[in-house]
Structure 1
Amino acid sequence: IAQEQRELAEASESVAIQEREEAERQRAEAEAQRREAERQERIAQRERDVAETLRGREAIQRARAESERDNALRTQSLFLADFAEQAITRHDYATALALALEALPDISRGIERPWVHEAELALIAATTQVRELRVFPSFPLSRFAHASADGTRIVTVTHGDAVVWDASTGDISARIEEAGSSIVAVASDNDRTRIAALLSDDFIHVYDMHGVVTARLYTGHSDRLGGSLVFSPDGTRLLELVSGDDPVVWDVDLAHPLYTLSGHEARVDNAVFASDGTHVLTSSRDGTVRIWDSENGAALHVLPGHDGREARVAVSPDGSLVATGAEDGTVRLWRISTGELMYMFSGHEGRITAIDFARDGRSFVTSSHDGTARVWTVDSETAQFVLPNHGSVVSAARFSTGGDRILTYAQDSSMRIWSATSGESDIILEGHTGPIVHADFSMDGNRVISNSVDGTTRVWRVEPTLLTEFAAFQERHGSSVRGVRLSPNETQAVSWSDDNTAVVWDLDSGAVAGRYDAHWDAVTDASFDPSGRFLVTASLDFTASVWDILSGQELLILEHPLPSVPGAGVFEARFSPLNTQIITRAGVPAFGRTAGDHYATIWHSETGAPIFNVSDHQGLVSLVAFSDDGRLFLTASWDGTVRVYDAASGELRTVLRRNSDPITAAAFSASGTYVVTGSSDGTATVWNVHDEEVLSVIDHNSGSIDSVSFVSEEEIMLTAFPDPTVSFYSTSRGRLIQRLSGHTDRVLSAQRVGRNEVLTVSQDGSARVWSLRTGREMYRLSVEGRRIVSAVMTNDGGRIVAGFGDGTVGVWRIRTNQSLVAFAWSLLPRELTAEQRRNFFLTSE
């Protein structure tokens, strides 16, 4: 038994040893597997690290490539913007527009590149000044172009054919083409436009605007290509003038000649109908102009004294007067009914090239080889205006249908539009590359159609293109608006007025979102709280009120103890940026009164309880302001000091004083580190708030400072009375950086918008938007008959809210960024040619 037990114990021990060995083996194997797993993980981690490094390098390389690409595109855009500016100085606005568009991104066309402000400025300038609408190809030997009565069709006429174009699409709608033809006349009356052509088949063919023949007049002149055809004003008669023959008048509808005008002793060069259709006038190389009865062709009068080549002839709209121009530069005015010479006009120093009467018949314009045009009245021999500045022979001058404008064009390919009342020209139409053969206003006066030997016919708009659209809100204040201010999210604006009310407007609809009229005297200030839910108003009724904007409920009345004297009241009321306090400024606007009449008060914004008063000043408190973080506020006074307080405790932190001149303006920098003050002595001072150190003193030297603000920590903006400019100075040295000049009267306010723009409002009644980077005017905003007194601009630059002296409030909508680019593309009359693209280092399309 003992032996068996020993053997059993040995066997058990042997099994235990084997189990231990197996367990050890398994542990070793597990350890080996773990180590292999760790090794594999290390290898995988290294691979991941390498991959991440490669991805990082690729990202860096991509970012570097994108940065280099953006820098290259930005540089290219700057060059293109400069080329566009050069084109603008040459008045080649269409080319400038195309170059500026090449320099800017366009999402709709899939063009990605950085937005370059300089290119934006060039685009704005080109868009607002480009007047070229469309270019129609023609032929170098073109004669003239004509717009249909309704303006929907353009007819271009050459020595070979006539083409009728759709004015809106530029497509050809009809073509009149005959071998050996001489297209010589186009006429429009109130209902129709007709085209007459002398063809090689001995007939004059009359067409409608669809190219359909409506009449054929047999002439027998197949071998004569020189001459002209002229329609009567109503289009029912046609005056045929063929070189070497007497003029013939035809009845177009009956297709037969009515009479021949015989009597001149030499070649007839010109023949025209009187504007009322009652007379025909002809001029000849025999030195005379003859007047004929258009009913029967009877000779009525001979007007002598026109020696040399052909005389130019024009008839007044009522058919009573005729003006004739001679080779010696003189112009004669005759009475048609009697043939009596009324006046002889002298002044031109070259041959008269054209004459045209204004529609009222009281004035006419002449053009000459001396490079000028002159405007005359029918009752004076002295020129009313001389229209100069053409560098070569002025081919013609024409009044617009309304008589308020004059078009002149010259052989140097230039065209100008002048005011018929002042004789001034601010419109230059350039784009043709060859002498202009013919140009005239459309019947509505809104377009100019020109024809040139460069082989093109061009249509131009007379009125400038506006990138701004003004809409007055339907309701208005009962008296002058005092100011306007935007809500924090810029979807609403508040205006306040002398009519004792403040009104909150919805900017999208223009509807009144709330009217607040509990005050019994003029409202002097209004502002939103940071959430945009509440409004605080200040009034000359000695109170400030807090309102719930949605309900219109007056939540709090902040009463100010003031003496009942004229002009006393509350002048400012603002929420703190932390929305826990309200600051008001109240007093009597008269220098030298007691300090108790001029003070600022901090109120609890929820309860309306006064927290503390600031009455330390010894003169009128001129303004109050919180720092951007709401922790400090300042008060400025006519006692020559600015006092800075802790907003929470009311503790006086510092007193800033340079001299005893009244402080008229003050502002914190964004960080709250600096304060700039403006004084009635015309100086501005930049201070470090913490140690009262003066960083710089700016001697503006243009009267009392009206406003000051920080553009950045390094730059301030100020306005002064009566200075019509806005000036920018460095904060550290007080050096003048730039000045915005253009207003004609005192600047009332200046607001920095975004990074690149400044909005100004002037006592001249206008508002303007300027480029902060270049100092150039971008937009000029005004409404005829209304004076802007206050305006604010949204940060995206898309809307400007304005209040007017007549109580109106309205908004300008401005095309910006992508909408500006899309609109500019819609105005582009022609794209860059292949040669231009090469010259401007652009790839071929």
Structure 2
Amino acid sequence: MMGIKYRKLSLSFPIVAIFLTSCSGGQISALPTSTVNVPPAAMSTPSPTDTPRLTFTPTATPTPHLPVLSGTQIPASDVVISADNIDQVVELARWGKGVITDAAYSPDGKLIGIATTLGVSLYDAETLDERVSIDTDASVASIAFSPDGKFLATGLIGNVVKLWGVVDGALFEILENPTQESISNTPNKFAFSNLSFSPDGGLIAGGSSNGYITLWQIENGVLINTIENPAHKAVLDIFFSPDGQSLFYLSGDGNVREVNALDGEQIHIFAGVSIRVAAISPDGMILATYESFRDPVQFSVVGYLYLWSVESGDKLQTIQAREPYFTESDISSLAFSVDGKSIGAAGEDQSGRIWNVEDGSLQASFDELHPTDGYGYYLNYFTVSFSPDGKNILLAGSNVFGIWDLETEELINRVENNTDSIIDIALLGDGQTLVSLEWPKIALLQFPSGTVVSSGDSLLSDSQVTFDPDGVQLLTSRYDNTVQFWSSDGKDVIKEFEWDRSDSDDGIQRAIEAIAVSPDGQTMALEMRYTGKVELRKMSDGSLIKNLQTGTKFGYSGTLIFTPDGKYLVASLSDTIRLFNLDDGIILGSFRGGLGVALHPDGSILAGGGEGKTITVWKIPGGEVLYTLKDQPDVVRAVTFSPNGEYLIAGIDDGTIEVFLAQDGELLKSWKGHTEGVRDVLFTPDGRYVISASIDGTVRVWGIKP
């Protein structure tokens, strides 16, 4: 069952490319696509015997998509990107298979569908070999198999539902949502975050983040009805009752509502404090919900799993699923076993549990996917499903999925070839090694081949990743107040500094939010979250040189940059930038717009992206505003200058990359490829390529084809 999705979603893009791959890794071939116009809303009630009869008229064969796996050599380019050739720049490569967003068994149990920020892959349920890969060019928020197993529905960003053939991955139907306005508090990035087929396969219902439920007839794509959530909140989960007469949906106001499937008339409301996920038993008699809240007595977050009688609305069982003081994570997905005797849950910490429905006792726990790197604060959306034969349980999310045998409680198989959100990238000085931070794991890749050089379990960082000026050492930092110096190949720890987390004036535990190295390689700057300080320390022995007072103890998205002459330090936290004079530690200026920060190569200009969809460029050290670029497509979280300083590039939350003239901010070009927000962007030192990283789990390379 679907639940609250924590990953931020972005706008979709219109190109659709579909691929079919054999389990033996055979040739990739393109498949035809089809577009069906959805007629205006019409009231139509299908009979229980209606059977989907989708028609399919192939169009011209699309061009195969870019490489998606690491180790694919990109076309070599000898052309430096400039205003004269900016129109020729294209996406040359895409490294990464995307972040897992949903998973489901096919009705016959032979296939497992894995939805990602890039598309859907269908795996053999026994061998976990990939059978079919569907590239949607939009982030997939939810999937559902039709009851006959012939079709797979995908809920996409942009409030579109697409139906695909399970055998070959061909596109059969596009179901548009005519209700694009929002009655919820979700800003302009709508998605069908949950889908459900009626038991007879005649209808499909989609719950959207814009606060509406939409029902279509599968046979002809006709819109049956649009149901408005009276709470004016996002629809977080949706499912039909086993008899197909009712729809249950979880609302953003923390309640579950049962409504008539066709006219939307409310039948019952299951009121909670803050229900996060829900599921219904196979016989439709029991509703399971999970909610968490801060206990005023224990001063800690607790979570409860409730089992309700659907008929009476009474609570049948209360299970404490999250003990106080963070001993367990929140539940992100629920599912009943086939026989309805057990309820399974997936946790944000990548673990799973099963309880007995009758007495609420814990039956089994599955922790093999839980990270073993010592980090206790993974917060990923994970989903749980039982196999149709009741023998296995599936847990999926982030970059991994696994299957367990329910009888032995042993992990049968796991696949870990997806990627997690990439929040930072950096290039070694020679431009031949790319560092990619999938928080908190780091991967080192050869550039331009994309081949993974190192990706050890111990190579971790919580903030920026950076090299020393000589490119000999890679610096990483962690929230436990540790800084490690790695060899440039990521294989050996050269040295490590660790400081007492409580070593602050007011006793607040410190955490390193950002790290930077001075141009002469003698000093490192550490932004210490919760203390209001930036610490300057010696690279040689880690000893403290001085503290710089930022004036704020709280924030996020910290960034530190030394000016090329080493005289000033740029420190950003949240949406504010501070410029320090390093001689006396005085703040020379404070500027709004610090989510993404970059310095011009000569150190005379500072650019910052802001939450207000703006980019501001200042002259430093004076702080005069040179220009402000307003009304960007979304929040700007990454900016960078070209090596020659002529161009400014911005990475935006809707997945767009924009290129401007640095002199006056003239927009030269917009590139669209990422399906979710861009978190970092950079030029290669030779100016021939632009590399971008996104929370869609991909690194993309842009340049001019030879």
TM-score interval, normalised by the smaller of the two chains: 0.3 to 0.5
Larger radius of gyration: 1
Higher helix proportion (structure 1 or 2): 1
Q: State TM-score, norm by structure 1.
A: 0.31
Q: Which has the higher contact order (CA 8 A, sep 6+)?
A: 2
